Structure 1
Amino acid sequence: MQLQVQNSLAADIDTIFEFYDMAIAHQKKVFNKHWQGFSREMVQTEIDENRQYKILVDGVVACVFAVTFNDQLIWGERDHDAIYIHRIVTHPEFRGYSFVKEIIKWAKDYGAKNDIKFIRMDTWADNEKLLEYYTGCGFDYVGVVSMEKTDGLPKHYEGISLSLFEIVL
């Protein structure tokens, strides 16, 4: 099995949105909250800025994720020297491949090359299953933040609390 992490290309945008649709359908089945869609413009900007990624397994897109380097509204004063991982979606046929651990390996390598000190993530504060999963992958749980300002963030951030996770590099 050959596994590769690559930047997503403009030609991948429809695939990315298919993955988001699959994720929302799954979230609706297993949890009481779900993503409420994303703007194509936002995703296109991420692609243009090389912040949208895909994981290929033997040449097939198996997982997508996005990164950012600023997350002020979520991380406040701690928002520095970090890579923030967002919107990890694994195709149902590839569940169980531990892509979060692969993303962590990739992010550690990226961090070493780019003087980054933290890998960070967030999820809904009441999602116990993901909380356990992320800490099991090596993230430290660093607390909960209640979202006050959400301007510029996707709609599902409005009025929620988030669990925060980080790995210190």
Structure 2
Amino acid sequence: MIRPAKLGEMTDIIAITKACAAQLIKNNIFQWSPSYPTISIFENDIQRKELYVMEIDEKPVGTIVISTHMDQEYIPVKWLTPSYNNLYIHRLAVHPDHQKKGYAQQLMSYAENQGRANKYASIRLDTFSQNKRNQLFYEIRGYQKLGDIYFPKQSIDHFHCYELVL
């Protein structure tokens, strides 16, 4: 079941992202750091009603942010659609104990269905340039790679931007 996250679930949400970060580091992918994502970022996501969780047996096992807010870093990207009616995906994570079960696919399908149902032009996101698995994940779903951006506080490496026209 996918539903809006609650502030009282912050311990579970942080545990998911910390476990994902540890798994990424184990695979020499330095995408998430101790300074990202933080509790305050997730609290803000919840306050804006943009953070969703996937729960199994009444416990969150995955997260996704579905936002209408375009980060400043995205401005220089040559997007496929005008920048006024789009959804942005951030912080998609499934606890490593629950990966490879189709849960990330379900979270993305949920976001895409929300986008279509609410007549958004597209879904935009970024993924770490060193995370080939994520790139393939989005490309198989039909997302087009458009350009690169940087988040200097997060990594010295760049992030690829993708868009799916709805």
Q: TM-score category by the smaller chain?
A: 0.7 to 0.9
Task: Please identify which structure carries the higher helix content.
Answer: 1
The whole-number CA distance in structure 2 between the counterparts of 1:109 and 1:128 is 25
Q: When the two structures are aligned, how many residues end up with a matched partner?
A: 159
1:144 aligned residue: 147
> 1:130 deviation in Å?
1.8
> 1:156 deviation in Å?
0.8
- Match for 1:125: what amino acid? S
1:28 aligned residue: 25
Any idea what the Cα deviations from partners look like across 1:85-126, whole Å, max 9, x if unmatched?
A: 111111222111222321232123211333311112211123
1:18 aligned residue: 15
| Residue segments in structure 2 that go unaligned for 5+ positions in a row | none
The whole-number CA distance in structure 2 between the counterparts of 1:90 and 1:81 is 27
The whole-number CA distance in structure 2 between the counterparts of 1:31 and 1:141 is 25
Match of 2:130, SS?
A: coil
Coordinate RMSD, CA, aligned? 2.1
The whole-number CA distance in structure 2 between the counterparts of 1:88 and 1:143 is 20
2:115 paired with 1:116:
no
Any idea what the Cα deviations from partners look like across 1:7-39, whole Å, max 9, x if unmatched?
A: 000101111111111011111111341312333
Matches for 1:72-83 after TM superposition, within 5 Å: 72-76=71-75, 78=79, 79-83=83-87
2:65 aligned residue: 66
1:156 aligned residue: 154
1:9 aligned residue: 6
With over 3 angstroms needed to count, the CA separation of the structure-2 counterparts of 1:41 and 1:145, relative to structure 1, is same
Q: TM-score, normalised by structure 2?
A: 0.83
> Which of 1 and 2 has higher RCO (CA within 8 Å, sep 6+)?
2
> 1:46 deviation in Å?
0.9
Quick check: 80-89 or 47-56, which moved more? 80-89
For the 8 Å contact 2:149–2:160, the answer to whether it is kept is no
The whole-number CA distance in structure 2 between the counterparts of 1:165 and 1:133 is 11
